[in-house]
Amino acid sequence: MTDFPAAGDTLPDIAMESPDGGTVKPSDFAGKKLVLFFYPKDNTPGCTTEAKDFTALKGAFDGAGVELLGISKDSAKKHQNFIAKHDLTTPLATDAEEGGLSDTLGIWTEKKMYGKTYMGMVRTTYLIGADGKIAQIWNKVKVKGHAEEVLAAAKAL
């Protein structure tokens, strides 16, 4: 069993692809509070709701000095379509590389559904303080009310 980063640890600084073909990594947000929300797949019901909820509260996060970044293994092209289809204003990133951030955090893992085993993303959110340290982790997130809960925690940080 690997020890994965926990509250109080520094988040690994691993680059991911942005929908425009650039790169984004946690250190790009140095000195700012940051919410990273990892979700399984673009355009699925729970993931769409979660991304729309964070988008709806983006102004409040901005007002609290908190940056947002949604992350899945979907391609940059899929992210572009997801953003356009749902008018998302929350930035997204692709963490498709093996050994990427979600692998390092231990949230890209073996899952089971209907007797089948497959690799998938565990819906997880990280709140990072302006000091670059993990302030709080939400594991196996239930979408309803989650963005509001994260906003309250971020404001209190």
Find all residues with CB under 8 Å of 132, minimum gap 6, and list them: 10, 11, 26, 27, 30
- Which candidate in 16, 35, 36, 47 is catalytic? 47
Nearest CA to 73 among 46, 47, 34, 112?
47
Report H helices in the chain.
45-56, 58-63, 76-86, 101-105, 146-156
List of the chain residues with pLDDT < 50: 1
Task: Note if 104 is an active site residue.
Answer: no
pTM of the predicted structure, to 2 decimals: 0.94
- How do the domains of the chain map onto residue ranges? 17-156
Residue 26's pLDDT is what? 94
CATH architecture of the domain formed by 17-156: 3-Layer(aba) Sandwich (3.40)
Per-residue model confidence (pLDDT) at position 5: 86
